[in-house]
Amino acid sequence: MEAIETVELEHSNLAQHQASIMKQMRSFWMQRHLCDVVLKDIDGAEHCAHTALLSAASEVFRNLLGGSFLEASQVQRKQPVEIRASKAAVSALLDYIYSGQPKVDLETGLELLRLAEAYDLPKLASAIEAGLRVSLDGVKALRILQETHGLRGLKATCEEKIARSFEACSQHPDFGKISAVQLARILKREDLNVSREEVVLKGIFNWFSFSKDRHGFLGILLQHVDFESFSVENLLRIGRFTLSGPTAEELHRNVDEALQNRQRKRAQHTPNSHDFQPKRRCLKHWSPDLGASAEACWREVLPIQCHSLAWHEGHIYATDFEGNVLCWHPGDPATSVRKVVGEGVGTQGINDLGSSCDVSVSPSGEIFVLDYDHSRLVRFQDGCGHLVCGGIYSPGGLSCSPNGVLYWLVGRGVGPSQVQKLVGSTIQTVIASESLPKDLQFKAEAIFVTKDEVIYIIDGVSLIDGVSHRDRILRINPAESLEPTVVGQIPNAEGILRLWGLVVTEGGTIYAFDHDSGEVFAFRPGETSPSQVLQCPDSLHPVALLVHGRSLYVGIVDDYEEPTVVGVYEQSLPPELQLE
């Protein structure tokens, strides 16, 4: 008998046949037809399915439902098998196994990731990962990093997203739920994006605030902070910060090293921008005093020429070189600048100011102008200009204290200089240079008075033991003594500096500028040597200075006698670093 030859029966379209079978199984599932297993979620809902299909999709399901486990006996007894997941997650899991394309939110997607890992469904995990990548942002990335799944690629993408929006992420509640290792990985990334390096330290302390048991990680995390990119003011603030525990020394050590490096570079006269390489690629702008920042903080806000600047109730007052007093609200367009004193305003009384004037505004809104050309002090109030004092010998420098007491200089730059003040309608001499010991006599160039009526002046030229010393800042507190103390000095062996403007903040930082070099300096409390805040670009020279809040305003010209380029520029000062 002849053997019958075997015949291989080929499908004309195998893929279509398989799809048809799967489509039919999906239809059975949706109709609960021939289902032989029930999955029960943590919400109490029951989901019918086919043991054979679940076993085919996952070896874990095959062993679980058909082996010697408790679940297999539950299937045989027609009892539900519990799945520790929400109703939405179990529904999506079965939908996917039955060739569906479920749409899930973030929370459900994260549950599915856990299920995919538990039941060995790598294709499901890859599908979830691909879906999450499409809409991934920093906040979602924080949530995903808390999961224990093994998708390294997704974790790396999450770390990248957090790094690119670190400032916002570090303030989110989920930021405190990531691990120390994950935080360290993010901090050491080259693409970490922050506006200033202080944000990195602030983020670390925010992370600490979620648990009292984390301070042991501080020393490790601090290695990823570039303290030399901090502003001097914030370094000093951190140095005063009280931190308990053994890691406090590590923080203060980093701060001390950064400050010492600043002082060393200052002593070596290291250029202020070319030799500094910040750790973060995003920090492209740096000054020795203000530290590193992502964006240039120096911008023109007014295209006008000004001789002096003052602040009152949210407005900047400026004197130009044409006998006018101008008023402007920061943030408004330059077209909103209005003239409050000068030609065309309709001021009664005195209204013929000279080209060189200083302005100061009292708390009650009185505008005081020291008119150099006419050697007089004028008050403007309610549309009238009144003479306060005339015949002032070489006037210069005007400052109204926050208490409303007006001070000015007599004998500016020529000596013997005097500081005078207006009490009511009476003019009083506060201090005369010639009444002081020789080494403390001064030729005043500028004046500033604080809310405590403490007087600061720039001493242009001083003669000590027959040697001329130039450009020092003196502090006089009449409540204690009329003897000045030197609180700042700029050594210059090459020639005469021209320190003009003078501003002292409530925190005690002294700002002054050298007109010729175009530099603005800051003297921190307790330090007599300055650090450079900014260097005016393109051969521009400062002529006026004002500090309010976290903004420093500088009036600039290219040539004081015949200016062709003028303007008022704003330099944003670094935010104060607050640690908890």
Q: Lowest-confidence range among 225-234, 283-292, 372-381? A: 283-292
Domain spanning 28-135: which CATH class is it, in words? Answer: alpha beta
Average pLDDT score over residue span 518-546: 88
Query: Which range (305-309, 413-417, 427-431, 459-463) has the least confidence?
Result: 459-463
Is pLDDT at 15 greater than 50 in this prediction? yes
Is a pLDDT exceeding 50 seen at residue 572? Answer: yes
Max CA pair span of the chain: 142
Fold that domain 298-572 belongs to in CATH? Neuraminidase (2.120.10)
Query: What does the pLDDT read at residue 493?
Result: 46
Domain ranges for the chain: 28-135, 198-293, 298-572
User: How many H-runs (helices) and E-runs (strands) does the chain carry?
Assistant: 15, 30
In this predicted structure, what is the pLDDT of residue 120? 92
Return d(Cα 173, Cα 143) in angstroms, integer: 10
Q: How far apart are CA 53 and CA 61, in angstroms?
A: 9
Q: Which residues neighbour 110 within 8 Å (Cβ) at sequence distance 6 or greater? A: 143, 144, 147
Per-residue pLDDT band at 269 (split at 50, 70, 90): low
DSSP assignment of 327-365 = EE-TTS-GGG-EEEESTTS--EE-----SSEEEEE-TT-
The average confidence (pLDDT) of the chain is: 88
**9 pLDDT above the threshold of 70:** yes
Q: Identity (one letter) of the amino acid at 268?
A: Q
Instruction: Please compute the mean of the pLDDT values over residues 234-252 and round it to a whole number.
Output: 80
Q: What values do phi and psi take at 31, rounded to 5?
A: -90, 0
Q: What pTM value is reported for the model?
A: 0.80
> Residue 211: is it exposed, middle or buried by C-beta count within 10 angstroms (0-12/13-18/19+)?
exposed
Q: Which two tokens stand for residue 503?
A: 């501003």
Query: What local confidence, expressed as pLDDT, does residue 271 receive?
Result: 47
Reported as a single tens digit per residue, the pLDDT across 472-500 is 899 999 999 999 999 988 765 454 556 78
Q: Out of 80-94, 162-176, 287-301, 322-336, pick the least confident.
A: 287-301
Percent residues over pLDDT 90 in the chain: 57
